Amino acid sequence: MQKVEIVVRPRISRFELQRVLKVWAAQYDADLRPRGRLRRQYRTEGENLHWHIVGLRKGMGTVEVTYLPSNGKLTVLVHDNRRGVWAGQAYENLAQEIRERLDWAI
């Protein structure tokens, strides 16, 4: 597994973060898919917010993003079995984009 951890201001709006992720995904021919708590019918369970950014072409791979609002910890990662031809390098680019585009990064 390859990952980058970023500390951001706690309690960032999920919509603000999701907007940044969606714009980035569109630039890289990928699709943003909410997972975990964002998908459950009863969204009160668990704290973390989790997304998959999946390449639209076969074999691109999947980048995962997890955000813990209480402590401002954001993790961008790729599991070894989801690296594909794109995701193994794209996760670092996304982490850098988050640092550069969001004024709340510490």
What is the separation of C-alpha 24 from the centre of its chain, rounded to a whole number of angstroms?
A: 10
Q: What is the pLDDT of residue 81?
A: 92
What is the separation of C-alpha 87 from the centre of its chain, rounded to a whole number of angstroms?
A: 12
Domains of the chain: 2-101 (3.30.160.690)
- pLDDT tens across 57-103, in order? 999 999 999 998 888 899 999 999 999 999 999 999 999 988 887 65
* Cβ neighbour number for residue 92 with a 10 Å cutoff: 15
- State the number of CA atoms in the 13 A half-sphere of 1 facing the CB: 9
Q: What is the pLDDT of residue 39?
A: 55
Instruction: Produce one character per residue of 23-55: b if its CB has 16 or more CB atoms within 10 Å, e if not.
Output: ebbeebebebeeeebeeeeeeeeeeebbbbbbb
pTM for this prediction: 0.85
